[in-house]
Copies of this chain bind each other. A is one copy, B any other.
């Protein structure tokens, strides 16, 4: 089984054919997002909290399990008041804090003859689960390494490690046990109504199609204390590869949906 079961919580209701539930689609969208939006409730406030945080999927018990085909937890790096984890009634029994994680990639602006048919090409994933603060040093170290290398592959090995005891203690990591998840993907070009398509003056005067978009990583800028003469090869290779990949995905999305 390499799919999240469809339940009332995760089933994509609007435009259901855009929905996907397989591990590969969901985990890839999460692991390639530059930021995750994490939402939970603080009983002291009327509004849900949303925090932009860094994180990725991983499985501490089966560390070599392939994220594309195996169950994963989501590790998130960043501060969430520990008060929210302490009280059982606040944390949904003993399971942890109910939490929702969203990852969204924008792939293009879809322009139609009529604004009503404008759209965006995008890939988004939503995961629902229960979060707990990671307290074991081993698991915290594991998560720090995974999150670091998810941002920039091999950075962990290529920078100072292991972290000091103080650093380890000051790092707050949440482990989210995923209960359900789904993805939604929009591809292709615009789709206009027949009366507009028959309007030759409108068609000739209004460009329709897709303006693709991706994240572009620029020339690295050294910090004031940098002592390394050249940007290391693995950083440049990663950056250029990401730019190519982002661009390719944005253009492929246009063709795929056509």
Interface residues of A (CB under 8 A from B): 8-9, 14, 34-35, 37, 39-41, 44-50, 52, 54, 79, 92, 98-102, 104, 106, 109, 111-116, 118, 120, 122, 124, 126, 128-129, 144-145, 148, 151-152, 155-156, 158-161, 163-164, 167, 170-171, 179, 189-190, 192, 196-197, 199-200, 202-232, 235, 239, 243, 246-247, 250-251, 254, 258
Contacts and interface: CB of A to CB of B under 8 A. Distances in A.
Nearest to A231: B207
A218 B209 contact: no
A100 B215 contact: no
A222 to B, nearest CB: 4
Given A163-B116, A218-B247, A223 B209 contact: yes
Contacts of A37: 37, 39, 50, 102, 104
B160 A250 contact: no
Copies of this chain, tallied across the complex: 2
A210 B204 contact: no
Given A79-B14, A100-B48, A227 B200 contact: yes
A57 to B, nearest CB: 17
A213 B220 contact: no
A8 B49 CA distance: 12
Contact of A207 (B34, B206, B230): B230
29 contacts: A37-B37, A39-B39, A47-B100, A50-B50, A50-B101, A50-B102, A52-B104, A111-B159, A113-B160, A114-B163, A115-B155, A115-B159, A116-B164, A116-B167, A118-B151, A159-B206, A160-B202, A190-B223, A203-B226, A204-B229, A208-B223, A209-B226, A210-B220, A211-B217, A212-B218, A212-B219, A214-B216, A218-B247, A218-B251
